[in-house]
Amino acid sequence: MNTVYNALADIVGEDYASAQIEELVTYSKDLGTSKPKLPDYVVVPANTEELQQIIRFANREKVPIVPLGGGMSLAGIAQPLRGGILIDMKRMDRIIEVNEKSRYTVVEAGTSHGKLSAYLKKHHPDLMHSMPDAPPAATVGGNIAIHGQGDLAHPHGFNSDMINGLEVILPTGEICKFGSCSVGSGWFTQHPLPDMSFFLGWGGATGIITKVSLRLFPCKKIREMDMFLVEDPELIPDVLYDLTHVGMAEDLAAFSGAIPPFSNKLHHISIFVSGDSEDEIEFKRRLMYDERLAKYIENGTGGIVATAQDIERPKTSKSADWKKGGGFEYVGSIMPVTAYAECYRRGVEISERHDIPYTVVGRVIGSSHAMMFAWSYAFNRADPATVQHAKEALHETDDLVLGLGGTIWKPAVYGQQIVMEHMEPNTLQLMNNLKNMLDPNGIMNPGNWEVA
Amino acid sequence: MFELSFDENQCFACSDYDCLTKCQYMDINVDTAKAEMGKIINQEESFVLRDCVTCYACEEYCPNDNHPFYLIVQRQEELDLAPLPEPLIKRGVQLGIPFRGEPEIPQIEGSALNLGVFSQLGSLTQGKLFEGLTIMSPDSRKMFHFFCQLMYLHYARTSVINEKLPGVIKTITDHGADEVIHYHDECYGTYASYAPAFGIDVPFKSVHLFEFLYNRLLELKDDIRPLNYKVAYQRPCSSRLSSDKYPFVEKIFDLIGVKSVEREYVGENALCCGATIAGQKKKGSRRFCLDLQEKNMADMQNAGAELCVFNCPACMQTLGKPVSKKGIMPIFMSDLCRLAIGEKTT
Amino acid sequence: MTAKIEYKYDDMIHRCFRCGYCKFPTDWSTITNCPTYARYRLESFSAGGRLWLIRAWVMGEMEWTDRLAKIVYSCTNCKNCEEKCPISFSDNLVNMVVAARNAMVDQGSIPSPVKDFLNNVHLHGNPYGLSAKKRDQWIEDSNIAPYTNQEYLFYVGCEGSYDTRAQTAARALANLLLKAGVSFGVLGNQEISDGNEVEMLGEEGLLEELAEKNIRQFKELGVKKIITFSPHSYNVFQNSYPKYGGDFEVFHYTQILPELMQAGKLEAPADLNMKVTYHDPCFLGRWNKQYDMPRKLLKSLNGVELTEMERNKKSALCCGGGGGNFYTDFLGGSEDSPARIRVREAHDTGANVLAVACPNCLTMLEDAVKVEGLEEKLAVRDIAEILNGTVTT
């Protein structure tokens, strides 16, 4: 064994540091179509102190480091592009505090969404967080780092809009806190302190998030799912505008897919409704369907498929297994809601060309301020031809996102390049300066957001 | 291709127009009924075509078996007056498309129990009652090959039924069973009522589930212990297509020692579960459906029902949770019969 | 690239998505419900990570190494992953691991502790390598008769026969059966391993040999019904022996005792005073779907207050002893060893007795109690010992 391994083993203990091929191969692989990229070492720190020592060492020795949460981005963001030390954050998963009256929780960044969700359900049933659709192994830190969205995206926005504070370790090893926690008050607000949000949307290229203060929201006793349906995709932005105007729903998502047949060339909108009583929920439904959406129903262009369905949390992605192949990857974009129809049409066209059953979804963010629109391409991991098709479809889709008026969500290197090509030069310059200032030795997930 | 055997002279000669005057959802007197029926026969628009909630009851009300409901549905399609919004109709039609491969067609000796699109209910078909029967459509991935299609009566799509049904009939026939017992009442209605009405040939013999259960219970008479429950029966819309089998409900109840509560909405006056009404185009349909369900359940409650006995899985899916919230236990008829012979159900 | 390996589940090994559901219990409350992942916290030791490594090996992308074998053999076959996996191949996850072990056995490349385990079973009829002649030494009471066509064969198993702690529990169970007047006999030193762990470890040939020997012996003796001490024996007799021609009526003892108590043939001890928490054994629980009977038994005892650990029934955390790990010990040596986590959980409920229904769990959890320094606070007892009144805390 060599000095790097010894140094890591000294910090975390032999059990939690590895340079063995079995770990390197396992951690080299992303769940999507990206080719494997091997790290040289894998390390699993227990707490901020151990992590800080690792980062200081890496900075001194100029060894690249790559932080990994749940590994659910499907975009290959946590694959080491230049080797180095892969840092698995999932042992750092303590739930440190839940403040009921101010409705927030402070957790270590490696806490899984599943664990947080179970904890709140058991100990604070009146509170919930915005749970992403990713499997429960997705981490709080990783999800906000990619600006994820969850089941409170409507009405409350991105999960990264729900942060009251962060603790971060800089590439040079300093621990920084942002928000009211930085002046010794509780972790209840990020504003009005000077903005220092250089750590979200950066693919881990500017520092490692170690603690997150996440806003919690009222959790009502009853939560159900309704389903509305239109055939004409041009109607989707209108219906969503109507529903967000009423403001009685949670989590609005429009979806369409070639399989199963019932969803083909039709557009379902799933609508979450919650309330502390049946009366509250019925009131909300009356406003949404009997008043606002009645026009679609009565002229026959839209209809209620079902109401009061059970919600399965966390959701399982059956589309991963459409080709009995264990794989799918998607292009996520942040789009104006008005782009839905065109996004759908292009998605159908690209999918058909690549012999993939099309799957698209648009999830409302905020009050229809934007939507996360995703084109999902399934592949069979055992059949390289389908992997290649999916890859091509993904690249084609990446290429068209900006042309459709949006921007790529959680881009990997390919998508980052496209975004940077389109970026306003002064902004790009500032990004570059910031990155160099924070990471002078270029160790933080190098290869990401690198200005040419 | 297939034509509805409808004799307009019978309607012209009719004096009561029970089909429309007895309708529980539209307020129609004899004169209006006569006029509207005339329009319908003549393929002219009538408010009846617009306001019909598709509860099937008029099939039962007509004393001449002249199929007023099938005619209404056909006209709805011809005149583009479907009760449901177009996207829901498309969805319904696409829902029935099988997409997971061809079914296995084992040769069945003796009697088959056809689950139709309710393969998941296979777990209900255990125990002595169903001993010796071979399950048809056990695989939920292939179940749409066994879909009787009659759901499309709610969608103004007799054309879809007539297009798909012959293929389904062939799939069932190919099993070679002596007789086919249909778990779902609507399947029975398809093969015993709809198909003959449209001249679609059905080579196999169909048995109504309740007739089968009753006869089987007679064979197992010694095992029956009276259950002594007070029950309400949720009569499904499809039961109107086999009203000659309706008496088996009471016969079974008598045999197993449960008592039907005295309620208002029973027999001819039964209320449908409302599943397809909630999404209809007519203004206020969503609320109307909820009120209808409340009315139905209040009726059960006021009459003192302890159990609500279901025939149809779709009714169960719609009303099962709501009735249990009212303190009435939902149970399938077949499960009730299993309880009566001392078997545990899930 | 090395050559492709012949592998039974070629058609589905690629379908794992590495979504990670397999790490969790049913309520998502912790990410460490896979016992090997709990111990190592490396993705390579999670259920999904293991499958991806197996695929890499089978496809010739990776060479066999000792560490790879250790990863494959560390799985305790607890089936937590199968409970949670959302993909339709979920009921083959453990089969896929066992199939990888079959392939390693065929190649002759397995870790040495596993080799020892299998050799010992082959030569001595038990994994410990102890003399076959001494297998009857657990019997102290001469009223425990040899099997000569009584109603039941009481099959004790290797742990009950040789491990001193498990022997105590086996004697307690035998004593209960005697007290209840059950007609039973034992095989004594004619008994050999049932083969459950051998099957799990991938040695199909040895399993077949054991199964055939056992079936022949049982049939010659006229055995129709078997009561097993261990759920592992129950599992292999019930689920694997039929394909070798073994068609016996098999019971785990927790299925027999309630009937005896209901019929008044067995009296519960009168002066119990304990707070008990019950640990579901994987081979009774997740493998054979039996969660309620042991709880009913315990609840029916006067003076017993039953409390549940947070992770129970389908979500129970495996004690870490399955897959031969009680012998090979791939999961020991850390405060994150599953047995240690489990006893801490049991202690957190406030219980002073941790009840088990499996000698594997018994030995693993009792050792963990000692290492955790909880001997004064938590007693690990087999249900048979509780019923026999032989609990001293």
Q: What is the SS3 assignment for C164? A: helix
Residues of chain B with CATH 3.40.50.1860: 111-211, 221-340
The CATH architecture that domain B221-340 belongs to is 3-Layer(aba) Sandwich (3.40)
Q: Do A115 and C53 touch (CB under 8 A)?
A: no
For residue B277, the surrounding DSSP H or E stretch is none
Cis peptide before C111 (omega within 30 of 0): no
Structural domain boundaries in chain A: 3-90, 92-218, 222-309, 318-411
Which chain A residue is nearest to residue C15, measuring alpha carbons? Answer: A326
Distance CA(A322)–CA(A389), nearest Å, equals 15
Q: Does residue A321 have a pLDDT over 80?
A: no
Q: What CATH number was assigned to the domain covering residues A92-218? A: 3.30.465.10
Contacts C18 to A, Cβ<8 Å: 29, 31, 71
Structure tokens belonging to residue A332: 């996520």
**pLDDT band at residue B255, thresholds of 50, 70 and 90?**
very high
Q: Do A90 and C31 touch (CB under 8 A)?
A: yes
A41 CB contacts (<8 Å, ≥6 apart)?
A: A4, A5, A8, A17, A18, A19, A84, A85, A86
Q: Do A229 and B91 touch (CB under 8 A)?
A: yes
Which chain A residue is nearest to residue B89, measuring alpha carbons? Answer: A303
Which chain A residue is nearest to residue B85, measuring alpha carbons? Answer: A300
Identify from C17, C33, C70, C74 which residue to disrupt to test chain A contact, counting A C-beta atoms within 10 A and taking the largest count.
C17
Which chain B residue is nearest to residue A229, measuring alpha carbons? Answer: B87
Q: Does C65 touch chain A (CB under 8 A)?
A: yes
Q: How far is the alpha carbon of B124 from chain A, nearest alpha carbon, in Å? A: 23
Identify from A232, A282, A305, A310 which residue to disrupt to test chain B contact, counting B C-beta atoms within 10 A and taking the largest count.
A305
What superfamily would CATH give domain A222-309? Answer: ACT domain (3.30.70.260)
Q: Does B285 touch chain A (CB under 8 A)?
A: yes
Contacts B286 to A, Cβ<8 Å: 285, 289-290, 304, 307
Q: How far is the alpha carbon of A261 from chain B, nearest alpha carbon, in Å? A: 5
For residue A271, the surrounding DSSP H or E stretch is strand A267-275
Q: Does residue A451 have a pLDDT over 90?
A: no
For residue B10, the surrounding DSSP H or E stretch is helix B8-12
Q: What part of B 41-100 touches A (C-beta under 8 Å)?
A: 82, 84-88, 90-91, 94-95, 97, 99
Q: Assess contact for C78 and C286: CB atoms under 8 A.
A: yes
Q: Does residue A114 have a pLDDT over 60?
A: yes
**pLDDT band at residue B139, thresholds of 50, 70 and 90?**
very high
Q: Does C24 touch chain A (CB under 8 A)?
A: yes
Q: How far is the alpha carbon of A333 from chain B, nearest alpha carbon, in Å? A: 27
Q: Does residue A323 have a pLDDT over 70?
A: no
Q: Do A303 and B99 touch (CB under 8 A)?
A: no
**pLDDT band at residue A78, thresholds of 50, 70 and 90?**
very high
pLDDT tens across the length of chain C (393 residues): 566 899 999 999 999 989 999 999 999 999 999 999 999 999 999 999 999 999 999 999 999 999 999 999 999 999 999 999 988 899 999 999 999 999 999 999 999 999 999 999 999 999 999 999 999 999 987 789 999 999 999 999 999 999 999 999 999 999 999 999 999 999 999 999 999 999 999 999 999 999 999 999 999 999 999 999 999 999 999 999 999 999 999 999 999 999 999 899 998 888 889 999 999 999 999 999 999 999 999 998 989 999 999 999 999 999 999 999 999 999 999 999 999 999 999 999 999 999 999 999 999 999 999 999 999 999 999 999 999 887 654
By CB neighbour count within 10 A (0-12 exposed, 13-18 middle, 19+ buried), where does B121 fall? middle
Q: Is the ipTM value over 0.85, yes or no?
A: yes
Q: Do A93 and C31 touch (CB under 8 A)?
A: yes
C-alpha C309, offset from chain centre: 19
Q: Do A261 and B279 touch (CB under 8 A)?
A: no
Contacts B278 to A, Cβ<8 Å: 304, 307
Q: Assess contact for A54 and A8: CB atoms under 8 A.
A: yes
* A/B interface, count of CB pairs below 8 Å: 65
Q: Do A300 and B285 touch (CB under 8 A)?
A: no
Q: Do C15 and A321 touch (CB under 8 A)?
A: yes
**pLDDT band at residue A318, thresholds of 50, 70 and 90?**
low
Averaged over B52-63, what is the pLDDT? Answer: 96
Q: Are strands A217-218 and A208-215 parallel, antiparallel or unpaired?
A: unpaired
Q: What CATH number was assigned to the domain covering residues A318-411? A: 3.40.462.10
Residue C282 one-letter amino acid: C
The fold for domain B111-211 equals: Rossmann fold (3.40.50)
Q: Do C87 and A321 touch (CB under 8 A)?
A: yes
Residue-level pLDDT at A154: 95
**pLDDT band at residue B344, thresholds of 50, 70 and 90?**
confident
Examine domains A3-90 and A318-411 and report if their fold is the same: no
Q: What is the SS3 assignment for C252? A: strand
**pLDDT band at residue A320, thresholds of 50, 70 and 90?**
low
Q: Do C29 and A115 touch (CB under 8 A)?
A: yes
Q: What CATH number was assigned to the domain covering residues A3-90? A: 3.30.43.10
Q: What CATH number was assigned to the domain covering residues C268-387? A: 3.40.50
Contacts A261 to B, Cβ<8 Å: 94-95, 97, 99
Q: How far is the alpha carbon of A325 from chain C, nearest alpha carbon, in Å? A: 5
Q: Does residue A314 have a pLDDT over 80?
A: no
Which chain A residue is nearest to residue C50, measuring alpha carbons? Answer: A26
Average confidence score pLDDT of chain B: 96
Nearest to A231 among B86, B286, B287 (CB): B86
Contacts B87 to A, Cβ<8 Å: 229-231, 266, 301-303
Contacts C334 to A, Cβ<8 Å: 15
Q: Do C88 and A112 touch (CB under 8 A)?
A: no
For residue A302, the surrounding DSSP H or E stretch is strand A302-309
Which chain A residue is nearest to residue C72, measuring alpha carbons? Answer: A22
Q: Does B199 touch chain A (CB under 8 A)?
A: no
Averaged over B17-41, what is the pLDDT? Answer: 96
Identify from B281, B283, B291, B318 which residue to disrupt to test chain A contact, counting A C-beta atoms within 10 A and taking the largest count.
B281
Nearest CA among B125, B200, B124 for reference residue B158: B200
Q: Do B87 and A290 touch (CB under 8 A)?
A: no
Nearest to A135 among C14, C20, C29 (CB): C20
Nearest CA among B224, B226, B248, B218 for reference residue B235: B248
Q: B24: number of CA atoms within 13 Å, CB side?
A: 20
C-beta atoms surrounding C179 within 10 Å: 14
Averaged over B242-247, what is the pLDDT? Answer: 96
The CATH architecture that domain C113-259 belongs to is 3-Layer(aba) Sandwich (3.40)
Distance CA(C55)–CA(C100), nearest Å, equals 9
Q: Do B281 and A307 touch (CB under 8 A)?
A: no
* A/C interface, count of CB pairs below 8 Å: 111
Averaged over A220-231, what is the pLDDT? Answer: 97
Given the structure tokens 């995709």, which residue do they identify?
Answer: A233
Q: Assess contact for C240 and C232: CB atoms under 8 A.
A: no
Q: Do C40 and A15 touch (CB under 8 A)?
A: yes
Q: Does residue A1 have a pLDDT over 60?
A: no
Q: Do A260 and B88 touch (CB under 8 A)?
A: no
Average confidence score pLDDT of chain A: 94
Identify from A1, A25, A133, A319 which residue to disrupt to test chain C contact, counting C C-beta atoms within 10 A and taking the largest count.
A25
Q: Flag the least confident range among A175-189, A321-335, B232-246, C238-252.
A: A321-335
Residue-level pLDDT at C393: 41
Q: Do A303 and B278 touch (CB under 8 A)?
A: no
Q: Does C332 touch chain A (CB under 8 A)?
A: no
Structural domain boundaries in chain C: 13-110, 113-259, 268-387
**What's the per-residue H, E or C state across chain A?**
CCHHHHHHHHHHCHHHEECCHHHHHHHHCCCCCCCCCCCCEEECCCCHHHHHHHHHHHHHHCCCEEEECCCCCCCCCCCCCCCCEEEEHHHCCCEEEEECCCCEEEEECCCEHHHHHHHHHHHCCCEECCCECCCCCCEHHHHHHCCCCECCHHHHCCHHHCEEEEEEECCCCCEEEEEHHHHCCCCCCCCCCCCCCCCCCCCCCCCEEEEEEEECEECCCEEEEEEEEECCCCHHHHHHHHHHHHCCCEEEEEEEECCCHHHCCCEEEEEEEEECCHHHHHHHHHHHHHHHCHHHHHCCCEEEEEEEECCCCCCCCHHHHCCCCEEEEEEEEEECHHHHHHHHHHHHHHHHHCCCCCEEEEEEECCCCEEEEEEEEEEECCCHHHHHHHHHHHHHHHHHHHHCCCEECCCCHHHHHHHHHHCCHHHHHHHHHHHHHHCCCCCECCCCCCCC
Residue-level pLDDT at A32: 87
Nearest to A21 among C42, C49, C62 (CB): C62
